[in-house]
Amino acid sequence: MVDINSSMIIQIINFLVLIFIMNLVCYKPIRGILKQRRKTIEGLENAIETAIKKAEETNRAFAEGIRKARAKGQKEKEALIQAAAAEESEIIGRINEQARAELEAVKQKISQDAEKVRQALQKEVDAFAEAISQKILGRAG
């Protein structure tokens, strides 16, 4: 059996003093370092989450900017196409009008020339009729 005597009490007191000293010298600094490390890790995790959120927000803003730019470009393209179509219609209309005017002028000139020729031939109809009748009847003039 174990006898409880003064040496045992001294050993218990020695054990308690050693635990107290070990707690002051080793355990508290280690716990402090572990707390500091935990705080640092939590801070880094928060910074990472913040950076990820900021990157996602920037990515969304970039995608939105690209979408808006494409939509704006498409609208400008359509506007240019419509302007070009309108200008094309205007140019074709002017060309058609000019062609109609030229055609009308040519028709008028042809009719004037035909009228001049007809009038010239009308003046000579009697002479032609006389010549033809003489040839038909066999008379030589």
Reported pTM: 0.46
- pLDDT tens, position by position, 69-93: 999 999 999 999 999 999 999 999 9
Q: Which residues contact 8 (CB under 8 A, 6 or more apart)?
A: 2
Q: How far apart are CA 76 and CA 118, in angstroms?
A: 61
Return all residues near 19 (Cβ < 8 A) that are at least 6 apart. none
Reading phi first (left if > 0) and then psi (alpha if -120 to 50, else beta), residue 52 is in alpha
- Assigned token pair, 75: 């609208």
Q: List b or e across 26-61, with b for residues whose CB sees 16 or more CB atoms inside 10 angstroms.
A: eeeeeeeeeeeeeeeeeeeeeeeeeeeeeeeeeeee
Q: Interior CA angle at 14 toward 11 and 19, to 5°? A: 125
Mean pLDDT of all residues belonging to the chain:
90
What does the DSSP 8-state code read for residue 27?
I
Tell me, what's the pLDDT at 82?
95
| 115 against 4, higher pLDDT | 115
Name the strand (E) or helix (H) holding 44: helix 28-137
* Longest CA pairwise span in the chain (Å): 185
For the segment 26-82, what is each residue's pLDDT rounded down to a tens digit? 888 899 999 999 999 999 999 999 999 999 999 999 999 999 999 999 999 999 999
Q: How many CA atoms lie within 13 A of 103 on its CB side?
A: 6
